[in-house]
Structure 1
Amino acid sequence: MVWSASTRYEVDPAPLGLALVHDLLNTIPAGRPRAADLLDGLGDAQAWVDQALACWAQERGQAAAQVHLTESDLEELRGLRAELRRLLASRNDGGADADDQTVAPTVHVAAAAVRMDRKGRAVLEPRGQGWRYVAALVLLEVFQAQQADTWRRLKVCRNTRCTTAFFDRSRNNSGVWHSTKTCGNPENLRAHRARQRVRTTGS
């Protein structure tokens, strides 16, 4: 199974279920030429949800519910995506230790239930229909990533012309570009030329 949103930007998915959050973040239009917004129309959104939930189920070894979206679900999913992207983008402004509480999502509330599985483990399960189920699953994965300390590695490319979401696998979690070749090198070159112009003007 392939995470369709992230694959089109040639980024490796985040590990385990966090890849669902990663893929949602990458449903935006980005790249050159611009890829389509996968949450813009009902057909594309349903196709993305079907594929993403199948990938999630495979990663987690669990069954995912069948989710049928309506037109009214799309705005809610785009809103959740925007809030999560705003939260990640704030790290580019305030650094890795930025206070998440100042930009945390405040609109989306999702329901989950706790049950005991056959191995005696307490398991959180999403509840709801349509966008609410997707949102519950996404936020549960965010919660689990925060507990595992992998959430801080999910980032948005610092190149404002790109903003592709990526999972930073560097040892010290210092990555800021989704691709050094396509974003890092051009941005560093632009910054270098800008500094040269300033020095030339000032001399």
Structure 2
Amino acid sequence: MPGTETYACPPSVCDSSELILGFVNTRPTGNGQPELLDDRTGLADWLTRAGRADAAPTATYADAIAAQELRAAFVTILRSHAGCVDDDAAVPDAETYLQRIAERYPLTPRVSAEGCTLVASQSGVPGAFGSLFAAVADLAARGGWSRVKVCKNSSCHSGFFDKTRNTSGLYCSAACGSQASMRAYRSRLRTA
């Protein structure tokens, strides 16, 4: 039907974005979600949900802290995709961190008749973190990286994949967009 088209998401882009979003959405948010990577058990749970159950038994508290730092850098980048980064230095700092830390999680090309994908070269927790970088590389190669964003609604900040035609989506749902609009409207009323 005309007017009902949505952004076509090739399966691997969706798989890649789901991995990144599943990782990003483990942080505490304004909607009451607690920190899900606060200890070894939390990280092991995420690893299992992300299909890396092989890494779950070896996860340590130090790995959980490393995961939180990695997640914070990704969140900063995704916030910049939605245009909601307040600190001008935050994005370059996050980019520098990600470039430096990516060296710890090398990727290997896997060539097949269908094409080439990058996969983590290591197993365990380092392999799981490497798979996040492989997902980013896949999204970037397919033009979907800028569509992975963090909701601009201050009471949400959940990660989402922007399926709008022109990549202008700022909210993870219509409800979040409505809340933000209502908040802005009330703010204008108070100042008037």
Could you state the TM-score of these two structures normalised by the residue count of structure 2?
Answer: 0.77
Following TM superposition, by how much is the alpha carbon of 1:102 offset from its aligned partner in structure 2, in angstroms?
6.3
Aligned pairs (5 A) from 1:1-203: 15-30=14-29, 32=31, 34-53=32-51, 66-67=54-55, 68-91=58-81, 92-93=83-84, 103-106=94-97, 107-109=100-102, 110-117=105-112, 119=113, 121-181=115-175, 183-199=176-192
Distance 1:36 1:130 in 2: 25
Q: Secondary structure at the match of 1:124?
A: strand
Counterpart AA for 1:186? Q
Following TM superposition, by how much is the alpha carbon of 1:79 offset from its aligned partner in structure 2, in angstroms?
0.8
Distance 2:76 2:187 in 1: 27
Counterpart AA for 1:25? V
Counterpart AA for 1:72? A
Residue 3 of structure 1 is matched in structure 2 by none
Distance 2:108 2:136 in 1: 16
Unaligned runs of 5+ in 1: 1-13, 54-63, 95-99
Q: Secondary structure at the match of 1:15?
A: helix
Structure 1 residues 15 and 29: CA distance shift in structure 2, 3 A:
same
Count of equivalent residues: 168
Distance 2:108 2:53 in 1: 14
Counterpart AA for 2:177? G
Following TM superposition, by how much is the alpha carbon of 1:36 offset from its aligned partner in structure 2, in angstroms?
2.6
Q: Secondary structure at the match of 1:16?
A: helix
Following TM superposition, by how much is the alpha carbon of 1:129 offset from its aligned partner in structure 2, in angstroms?
4.1
More displaced stretch, 107-116 vs 80-89 = 107-116
Following TM superposition, by how much is the alpha carbon of 1:47 offset from its aligned partner in structure 2, in angstroms?
1.6
Structure with more contact order per residue of length (Cα contacts < 8 Å, sep ≥ 6): 2
Structure 1 residues 188 and 115: CA distance shift in structure 2, 3 A:
closer
Following TM superposition, by how much is the alpha carbon of 1:144 offset from its aligned partner in structure 2, in angstroms?
0.9
Over aligned residues, Cα RMSD in angstroms? 2.3
Counterpart AA for 1:35? Q
Identity of aligned residues (%): 26
Distance 2:25 2:119 in 1: 24
Structure 1 residues 105 and 84: CA distance shift in structure 2, 3 A:
farther
Following TM superposition, by how much is the alpha carbon of 1:29 offset from its aligned partner in structure 2, in angstroms?
1.8
Q: CA deviation digits over 1:75-105, x for unaligned, max 9?
A: 11111100000111123237xxxxx656415
Structure 1 residues 88 and 121: CA distance shift in structure 2, 3 A:
closer
Following TM superposition, by how much is the alpha carbon of 1:134 offset from its aligned partner in structure 2, in angstroms?
1.5
